[in-house]
Structures are given as structure tokens and as C-alpha cells.
């Protein structure tokens, strides 16, 4: 088993805006292999006791979740909730429309939960947490201890958990629930090691999503965010 390394200090807030719906702050939480910024938006009351993390894109060719995050950036969170929105965890992969980061590593096989050396399209990297992108999101999770985390992927059309929150989300969007255990997955690490609240994967359909589907998923996030 590979031990979790200590988190690095958090990044500073880079800008703040107050819109008609909710306060929004954006900060850089890390950089990709190629130096692209990885940003997180905080939407809602900074003093809210409950934080909900949403990650729109982990694999660079599975990024319909970006549109859901964009909609949530303009939303009003429920009372007592601050949304933490990481639009794109893998900007290098997204720039090339490939699954892996610029090192050829599948970020969702790179956590320390059940990590083992994998090669090929699911390359797990030379060791757990070897990639700057996974270390960035690990720091956020350890610092913020989110009460709920939603990770978006494609194209299996399911909610990959059977926790109460996941089942509720699945009912709201009309998807089945199905466990998809993966070595080194980020949600698995959260659920096994952090345990501040449930983390689950939403596998969207392949291809583009309709405006109605994006709206439905964003509403489901806000619904389950209440707890």
C-alpha cells in the first residue's frame, strides 16, 4: 500500500465577484503537467457549514460534465451550502481530447486506494499520487472535507454508487445505480480514506448532452447538496 503524502498549502484566491445569485470566488488549486492552471470556483456563502465538491472533467475525452459545472457556477446553492466547482481537472488531456494527462496517466487510476501498476490506456502512473493534477484535487479534499462529492465521467450511463445520496441523484436524473470499483480511483480513495461524506461517480451518456439533460443534472446536484 502506498501511503498518502501530506497536502501542500492551499492556493490563494485570485478573484472574487458578487453576482445577482450568489457570491463567487475563483482560485488556482494547481497546475497540470504542461503548466495549465487548474481552477476551483466557490459559489455561495463562504461561512456555509456544508461544502459540496463537483468535478466536471477528469478524463480529457469525457467532458460533458463541464457544461453542468458551468450551469452550477450561475446557480444559487441551498442555504448552508457552498459549492466547490472544479471545472477541468485534466486541462492537458482536454486540450488533446484524450483520456490521460500529458504524462499518459489515467488520473482516475492514480490515487492510493487499491493502487497497482497498470499500463496501456488505464496507465496508473509510476506510483500513487505521482501526478500534479491528482495531488491538486487531493489537497482540496483534505483541506475542505466536502460533505458530498460528484465526479463526472462518460459514457456508461449510470451512477456508480448505491449510497443514499447516489440513489437519490439517480432517481432525479433517470439513471440506474451500479458499483464500478476501480483500482486507484479518486472517489474510492475519498470513500475509504477521507470519509467526510459520500463521493460518487456519475457516468453520463456518450457524445453531447442536450440543454435539458444539463439542466436536469445541475438541479440534481443542488437537490442532493442539501443533505
- Report the pLDDT value the prediction gives residue 67, as an integer from 0 to 100: 98
- Report the pLDDT value the prediction gives residue 146, as an integer from 0 to 100: 98
- What top-level class would CATH report for the domain 13-225? alpha beta
How open is the CA angle 12-16-17, to the nearest 5 degrees?
170
Residue-wise pLDDT for 27-72, tens only, equals 999 999 999 999 999 999 999 999 999 999 999 999 999 999 999 9
CB 136 within 8 A of CB 27: no
Share of the chain above pLDDT 70, in %: 91
- Report the pLDDT value the prediction gives residue 164, as an integer from 0 to 100: 96
With a CB cutoff of 8 Å and minimum separation 6, the contacts of 62 are 99, 152, 153, 154, 155, 204
Residue-wise pLDDT for 152-200, tens only, equals 999 999 999 999 999 999 999 999 999 898 999 999 999 999 999 999 9
Separation of alpha carbons 163 and 166, rounded Å? 5
Residue 143 has pLDDT above 60, yes or no: yes
Q: Is the peptide bond before 109 cis (omega within 30 degrees of 0)?
A: no
- Report the pLDDT value the prediction gives residue 9, as an integer from 0 to 100: 43
Higher-pLDDT residue of 85 and 18 is 85
Which triple of cell numbers denotes residue 111? 490515487
Separation of alpha carbons 118 and 122, rounded Å? 6
Averaged pLDDT, 137-141: 98
Q: What is the mean pLDDT of the chain?
A: 92
Look at the alpha carbons of 62, 15, 12, 196 in this order and tell me if their dihedral is positive or negative. Answer: negative
- 3-state SS assignment for residue 23: strand
Which triple of cell numbers denotes residue 147? 460533505
- Report the pLDDT value the prediction gives residue 92, as an integer from 0 to 100: 98
How confident is residue 21, by pLDDT bands cut at 50, 70 and 90?
low
Amino acid at each position: 500500500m502506498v501511503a498518502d503524502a501530506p497536502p501542500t498549502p492551499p492556493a490563494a484566491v485570485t478573484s472574487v465577484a458578487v453576482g445577482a445569485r450568489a457570491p463567487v470566488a475563483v482560485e488556482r488549486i494547481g497546475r497540470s503537467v504542461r503548466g495549465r492552471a487548474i481552477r476551483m470556483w466557490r459559489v455561495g456563502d463562504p461561512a456555509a457549514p456544508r461544502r459540496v465538491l463537483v468535478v466536471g472533467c477528469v478524463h480529457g475525452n469525457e467532458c460533458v460534465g463541464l457544461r453542468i459545472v458551468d450551469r452550477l457556477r450561475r446557480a444559487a446553492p441551498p442555504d448552508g451550502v457552498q459549492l466547490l466547482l472544479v471545472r477541468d481537472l485534466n486541462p492537458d488531456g482536454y486540450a488533446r481530447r484524450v483520456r490521460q494527462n500529458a504524462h499518459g496517466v489515467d488520473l482516475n487510476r492514480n490515487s492510493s486506494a487499491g493502487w497497482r501498476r497498470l499500463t496501456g490506456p488505464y496507465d496508473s502512473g509510476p506510483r500513487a499520487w505521482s501526478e500534479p493534477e491528482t495531488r491538486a484535487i487531493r489537497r482540496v479534499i483534505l483541506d475542505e472535507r466536502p460533505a458530498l462529492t460528484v465526479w463526472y465521467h462518460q459514457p456508461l450511463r449510470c451512477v456508480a454508487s448505491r449510497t443514499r445520496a447516489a440513489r437519490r441523484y439517480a432517481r432525479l436524473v433517470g439513471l440506474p445505480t451500479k458499483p464500478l470499483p476501480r483500482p486507484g480511483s479518486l472517489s474510492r480513495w475519498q470513500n475509504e480514506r477521507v470519509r467526510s461524506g459520500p463521493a460518487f461517480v456519475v457516468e453520463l451518456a456518450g457524445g453531447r448532452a442536450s440543454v435539458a439533460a444539463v439542466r436536469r443534472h445541475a438541479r440534481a446536484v443542488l437537490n442532493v447538496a442539501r443533505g
